[in-house]
Structure 1
Amino acid sequence: MIRHLVCLRPTDEEAARALPRILADLGALTGEIEGFVAFAGGPNIDAEGLSPGITHLFSCDFADRAALDRYAADPRHRALGARLVEACGPGGITVYDMEIAP
């Protein structure tokens, strides 16, 4: 299983207000793309004070690398990704992918 983790640092308050809708739309793709098995996303509570400026995060779980590749290529994901880039600007999105035990 692959976990795709994304940290979002929006450019301003208006952009931050757009993120919950984009995250909801990404979550709606769960099960719509073969092997996209789980989604979680929401505001960053930054309990330890170690992620300044990161207002939202999300994670996606994929059955395998092929499922992650299908997600990356899917036009619905690409359109939502463009909205995230618009809201966060250059350097405002950090992505991690890690293999996890199912």
Structure 2
Amino acid sequence: MIRHCVFIRFRDGVPTSDRQACYDDLAILCAKLPGALTFRSGVNVSPEVGMDKGFTEGFLIDFADAAARDAYLIHPEHQAIGGRIVSSAIGGPDGVFVFDLEV
């Protein structure tokens, strides 16, 4: 199983409704993709002050395997949602941190 972890530093002016719309659209996409097992999103609730490096929220997607994750990465809807996230992040791509774990 692959756990796809994405953490975001949204710009201050990005409305909560726009952020939530990205998560909602990702959840809809994952629900129709073979091999996408779970989707979760939320804000950072860690008590470790400063350790978040400004990444205040994010999402996790569990995929059955690397092939399912790879199909998601090239999916046109993922590309569009990812573009919205990057354009809303502080510094564009610098405001998005992606880390995949094999679990």
TM-score if structure 1 supplies the norm length? 0.89
Paired residue for 1:96, among 83, 94, 99? 99
CA offsets, 1:24-64, max 9 Å, x none? 11111223111111000011123211114212110000000
How far apart, in 2, do the equivalents of 1:61 and 1:9 lie?
22
How far apart, in 1, do the equivalents of 2:84 and 2:4 lie?
18
| 1:55 counterpart residue number | 56
How far apart, in 2, do the equivalents of 1:31 and 1:64 lie?
16
The percentage of aligned residue pairs carrying the same residue is 37
Give the unaligned 5+ runs of structure 1. none
Give me the CA root mean square deviation.
Answer: 1.3
| 2:74 counterpart residue number | 73
Runs of 4+ in 1 over 3 A off after TM superposition: none
Give the unaligned 5+ runs of structure 2. none
From the superposition, tell whether residues 29 and 40 of structure 1 become closer, same or farther in structure 2 (CA, over 3 Å): same
| 1:9 counterpart residue number | 9
Give the Å deviation of 1:14.
2.0
Give the Å deviation of 1:16.
5.4
| 1:40 counterpart residue number | 40
Contact 1:46/1:52 (8 A) holds in 2: no
